[in-house]
Amino acid sequence: MVIELSALDLSLAALLILALAGLSLRLGLGIGQRLLVSAARTTIQLLLIGLVLKLLFDNVHFLWVAAMAAVMITAAGHEVMARQKRRFTGGWGFGLGTLSMFVSSFTVTVLALVAVIGTTPWYAPQYAIPLLGMVLGNTMNGIALGLDRLTQDAAAKRTVLETRLALGEDWNAAIADTRREAIRVGLIPIINAMAAAGIVSLPGMMTGQILAGAPPVEAVKYQILVMFLIAGGTGFGTVVAVGLAARRLFDERQRLRLDRLRAPQD
């Protein structure tokens, strides 16, 4: 049986956030207000998603699940764009991350629902939404890190890239090292998470299932599935995003176009 938490229980946990905000003020860290706003957003957003999921579970329909998935992917695309210090101008800033996550996360999640879990219907929201959310969240981080590294390195190495172009290399060869490093950076978080799982940390889904009373071995199986899905989504998504972004940095005449990037964001 699941032990229900009261508002008082959550309020006691919230005291930790208030204490941390007070410590930030005391030390002059300048993050106290952002910490409180983030905590408030977490509370409101999770309460709202709880109500939405309850409605989805009570009224299972493909269109409702698809609409929820579209909202999640769109929000993740916005977060990827917002985390860039040098993001692309125009629709490219939003489109690169969103398209990459749709191609990777959505495909990986559908594959798991249809071929691995085999739910009936395959879009059952109690499986589809949590799986997509976990894959999206981690894919979003990988793509954001990869794109940020690519654009910042391209700006920092402008002279090197233009020299390589002047010596006769095409754009693909000139940017290859920078692109490779950006993809590597994007994959570091999920590689670290898989390496530490079960030894350093007990991942969230496994912990949640155990707390809900699921047999530990069954919880472990689901966690392994989720980790592999996240790794696949993050890997393919980062490769697609960084590849498209690298091409966008050059025009049809093989010229480096840093004017397609916005000025560095604080």
CA distances to 100, 151, 184 from 132, rounded to whole Å, are: 14, 28, 23
pLDDT at 206: 75
Q: Which two tokens stand for residue 261?
A: 């990037």
pLDDT cut 90: percent of the chain above it: 35
Mean pLDDT, to the nearest integer, of 192-213? 77
Question: How far apart are the C-alpha atoms of 206 and 216, rounded to whole Å?
Answer: 8
Closest C-alpha among 79, 51, 106 to residue 240: 106
Q: For residue 53, what pLDDT is reported?
A: 86
- What are the backbone angles phi and psi of residue 154, rounded to the nearest 5°? -60, -40
The type of residue at 114 is V
Q: What is the pLDDT of residue 1?
A: 61
Quote the pTM value. Answer: 0.81
In 10 A of CB 130, how many CB atoms? 15
Question: Averaged over 238-247, what is the pLDDT?
Answer: 93
Q: How confident is the model at residue 157 (pLDDT cuts 50, 70, 90)?
A: very high
pLDDT per position as a tens digit, 48-85: 988 988 888 888 888 988 998 899 899 888 888 888 88
pLDDT at residue number 266: 55
Cβ contacts of 186 within 8 Å, gap of 6 or more: 142, 143, 145, 146, 149, 234, 238, 241, 242
- Residue 11: exposed, middle, or buried by beta-carbon count in 10 A (0-12, 13-18, 19+)? exposed
Confidence band for 32, pLDDT divided at 50, 70 and 90: confident
CB count in 10 Å sphere of residue 71: 11
What secondary structure letter does DSSP report for 256? B
Q: Is the pLDDT of residue 265 over 80?
A: no
Give the model's pLDDT for residue 2: 65
The reported pLDDT for the residue numbered 61 is: 87
Cβ-count burial of 107 within 10 angstroms (0-12 exposed, 13-18 middle, 19+ buried)?
middle
- The region, left, alpha or beta by phi > 0 then psi within -120 to 50, assigned to residue 89 is beta
For residues 90 and 265, the model is more confident at 90
Residue 19 CA from chain centroid, whole number: 29
d(CA 154, CA 146): 12
Q: How far apart are CA 218 and CA 72, in angstroms?
A: 28
- In contact, 248 and 240? CB cutoff 8 Å: no
- Cα separation of 50 and 64, whole Å? 15
Average pLDDT over every residue of 123-151? 90
Task: Delimit the domains of the chain by residue range.
Answer: 1-59, 61-260
